[in-house]
Amino acid sequence: MSKVIEIKIPDIGDFDGVDVIEVLVAIGQQVAKEESLFTLESDKATMEIPSPESGVIAELKIAVGDVVKEGDVVALLLASSAADTATETETEPEDEPIPEVLKKEIETVVAVETATPAPTVAEVPQPTPVIASARSETVAPAGGMAHASPAVRRFARELGADLLKVVGSARAGRITRDDVKAFVKQALSAAPATTSGSGMPFDLPPLREIDFSKFGEVETQPLSRIQKLSGSFLARNWISIPHVTQFDEADITEMEAFRKGNQELARERGTKLTPLPFMIKACVAALKQFPRFNASLSIDGKDLVLKQYFHVGIAVDTDDGLVVPVLRNCDQKGLLDLAEELAEVSQRARDGKLLPKDFQGGCFTISSLGGIGGTAFTPIINAPEVAILGVSRSFMKPLWNGMEFRPRLMLPLSLSYDHRVIDGASAARFTRYLAEMMADIRRVML
Ligand code: CAO
């Protein structure tokens, strides 16, 4: 008997609609199980929708440019067993039960975006755009409307590139991120060393393409999609937020004794208790004490939006680059709950299985390099958040207690903050408070 499967859009997080940017198959095409059929793109992520079964595409219900949401039927698939006999039997769709929610692979996820749309460089008040105007002789597409996804539009806005002047290289003239880059590169190499003569910081000499192989052997490796995407957000945050980094050290001698004393308990629950859950709890306590750190600037820079919830982003190092999933309601979770969630989410991050919703709603980010090493660093704020805590490796230090030097385990803290929102004295108080919480972790319960 023939079996026609409805292919539906799976859970794609808190999005009302995402753009279809590619239809990778045609009617009548044989596809294998898990073969990608469509590419969807939100402003946070690009997702491929794989085929749930092998078979033949019987009908396509969407096209490039459509907007889809969870549950939409996007294609009909004549599943393989049926496809084999399709030449002899005319097939009719049946009221088959809808297949299990299709597996969705997040191919790329922006590392540093969160739920509230982050202000772009073009939107944040700033002295001058990165590129005053791109100079190109290319012609706008007919109709005067550039064909590009929201993410590409945002990317172009950040770089100050006029999309109407960019030539799209993808199907139907769609403009890709690489097209925007090529356009900007061309504009930069054509631009004089200073664009306005204003002496503002963005009046920088353009980077020139260099053939490094003239100087020795080289190998060129493409950046991963995550690296390319997160790179533009990191660059935006770095140039649009006035960063200052406050350094301090927390005495975690007692905290570590407590942590190690409870490692067996963690093991019984099938998890591992690292210092990070303790830091999350200490950060929540500090965010409650200093509400300006749990806030975002409004897009026009005139208001501060203070958050009453405590969602903490954790920077996770993956083979494809840095991603920042968010642990929600950390104020309501215990240390072991956080340890379990951290292990689960960082594993999914490394497997490339995070969903757009995993990145949303962060209030404050922790970037821990403690498992690797180092003494201090200057983390880049994850806009629209206003502060980020960098943590380096703990080390033994002799501390004078008034009578003698005692060996203490110290944890280096590096707090980068947005100086438009937070002044230096508050940052020093916040970091001190954080250190005090970690020095006596029982205080987070007060
Ligand atoms: N000092 C000393 N040891 C530390 C430590 C610290 N500050 N933090 C963690 N450790 C130890 C852990 O206890 C663990 O020890 P054992 O192997 O003996 O159990 C070891 O280091 C490894 O920890 P981990 O990295 O597996 O776990 P974590 O909870 O500390 O961190 C995660 C989880 C996902 C944050 C981490 O794996 C990671 O990806 N870190 C990199 C983040 C990053 O790249 N930041 C840079 C952003 S800016 O480019």
DSSP string, 258-294: HHHHTHHHHHHTT----HHHHHHHHHHHHHHH-GGGS
Pocket lining: 312 vs ligand 1, CB cutoff 6 Å: no
Residues 287 and 338 in one domain: yes
Q: Name the residue of 112, 273, 276, 320 to mutate for ligand 1: max ligand atoms within 8 A of Cβ.
A: 276
pLDDT in tens, 55-85: 999 999 999 888 998 889 999 999 986 544 4
Look up the domain containing 314 and give its range: 228-445
Enumerate the β-bridge partners of residue 326. Answer: 313
Inside any domain, residue 213 = no
Give the position, in ligand 1's atom list, of the atom nearest the Cα of 346. 34
User: Looking at the predicted structure, is the pLDDT value of residue 216 above 90?
Assistant: yes
Enumerate the β-bridge partners of residue 77. Answer: 5, 57
User: Looking at the predicted structure, is the pLDDT value of residue 249 above 80?
Assistant: yes
Residue 164: give its domain's CATH number: 4.10.320.10
Residues 91 and 161 in one domain: no
pLDDT in tens, 383-427: 999 999 999 999 999 999 999 999 999 999 999 999 999 999 999
Residues 64 and 172 in one domain: no
Nearest to 353 by CA among 5, 62, 69, 11: 11
Residues 170 and 248 in one domain: no
Give the position, in ligand 1's atom list, of the atom nearest the Cα of 394. 1
SS3 237: helix
Please tell me the distance from the alpha carbon of residue 4 to that of residue 437, in angstroms, as a whole number: 59
Output the furthest CA–CA distance in the chain (Å, rounded): 94
Inside any domain, residue 211 = no
Residues 318 and 395 in one domain: yes
CA 43 to chain centre: 11
pLDDT of residue 229: 85
Residues 116 and 136 in one domain: no
The answer to whether 208 touches 189, Cβ cutoff 8 Å, is yes
Burial class (CB in 10 A: 0-12, 13-18, 19+), 306: exposed
391 CA to centre of ligand 1 in angstroms: 9
Inside any domain, residue 221 = no
Residues 173 and 112 in one domain: no
Inside any domain, residue 215 = no
Q: Identify the domain boundary among 122, 144, 175.
A: 122
Pocket lining: 230 vs ligand 1, CB cutoff 6 Å: no
Q: For residue 10, what are the CA distances in angstroms to 15, 151, 162, 354, 356?
A: 12, 21, 34, 14, 12
Q: Identify the domain boundary among 134, 166, 192.
A: 192
Q: Identify the domain boundary among 100, 122, 144.
A: 122
Inside any domain, residue 109 = yes
User: Looking at the predicted structure, is the pLDDT value of residue 132 above 70?
Assistant: no
Residue nearest to atom 38 of ligand 1 (CA): 316
Pocket lining: 365 vs ligand 1, CB cutoff 6 Å: no
Pocket lining: 367 vs ligand 1, CB cutoff 6 Å: yes
Nearest to 279 by CA among 388, 408, 373, 425: 388
18 vs 46, more confident: 18
Whether residue 127 has a cis bond before it, omega within 30° of 0 = no
pLDDT of residue 295: 98
Residues 303 and 316 in one domain: yes
Task: Work out how many domains the chain is built from and give that number.
Answer: 3
Inside any domain, residue 430 = yes
Please tell me the distance from the alpha carbon of residue 154 to that of residue 235, in angstroms, as a whole number: 14
Quick check: pTM over 0.85? Answer: no
Residue 305: give its domain's CATH number: 3.30.559.10
Give the position, in ligand 1's atom list, of the atom nearest the Cα of 318. 39
User: Looking at the predicted structure, is the pLDDT value of residue 145 above 70?
Assistant: no
Pocket lining: 276 vs ligand 1, CB cutoff 6 Å: yes
The stretches of 319-421 forming alpha helices (DSSP H) are 335-350
pLDDT cut 90: percent of the chain above it: 53
Give the position, in ligand 1's atom list, of the atom nearest the Cα of 322. 44
In this structure, are strands 387-391 and 364-368 parallel, antiparallel, or unpaired? Answer: parallel
Residue 89: give its domain's CATH number: 2.40.50.100
Residues 148 and 103 in one domain: no
For the question of residue 243 being annotated catalytic, the response is: no
Inside any domain, residue 197 = no
Over the Cα atoms of the chain, what is R_g? Answer: 26
Residues 320 and 236 in one domain: yes
Residues 186 and 295 in one domain: no
User: Looking at the predicted structure, is the pLDDT value of residue 8 above 70?
Assistant: yes
Residues 357 and 239 in one domain: yes
Inside any domain, residue 205 = no
Pocket lining: 315 vs ligand 1, CB cutoff 6 Å: yes
